[in-house]
Amino acid sequence: MIVGQVLLGLAGLGLTCYAYYVKQQHKKNPKYKALCDFGPNASCSRVLTSKYGIGLGLTTKLFGENSIMNASNVNRGIV
């Protein structure tokens, strides 16, 4: 049971770190194509860099653009 939980936690951390990497690469090169970009309708880099990639698209409306609550979903996942 505990081994399974640890493995799932590590898998989640790995996916979150990859999402962070994709977001950073997309900032450097907007034409960067991630492994999870399967097409125009299934693109993780589009989601990560959209308004929904920050606080699920809600925190900007609720707290304003300069709020500390406007952390990227990727950063929240790593924590």
The tokens for 75 are 């950063």
The range of the structural domain enclosing residue 73 comes to 2-78
Number of folded domains that form the chain: 1
10-67: pLDDT as tens digits = 999 999 999 999 999 999 998 898 988 898 888 888 888 888 888 888 888 888 888 8
Give me 77's structure tokens: 């996942």
The closest of 40, 70, 36 to 56, measured between CA atoms, is 70
Q: Interior CA angle at 57 toward 55 and 62, to 5°?
A: 80
pTM of the shown model = 0.78
* pLDDT value at residue 6: 96
Q: Given CA atoms 18, 23, 25, 30 in this order, what sign does their dihedral have?
A: positive
Instruction: Name the band, by pLDDT with cuts 50, 70 and 90, for residue 8.
Output: very high
The confidence score (pLDDT) of residue 24 equals 92
Token code pair at residue 13: 């951390």
At residue 78's C-alpha, the angle toward residues 65 and 13, to 5°, is 145
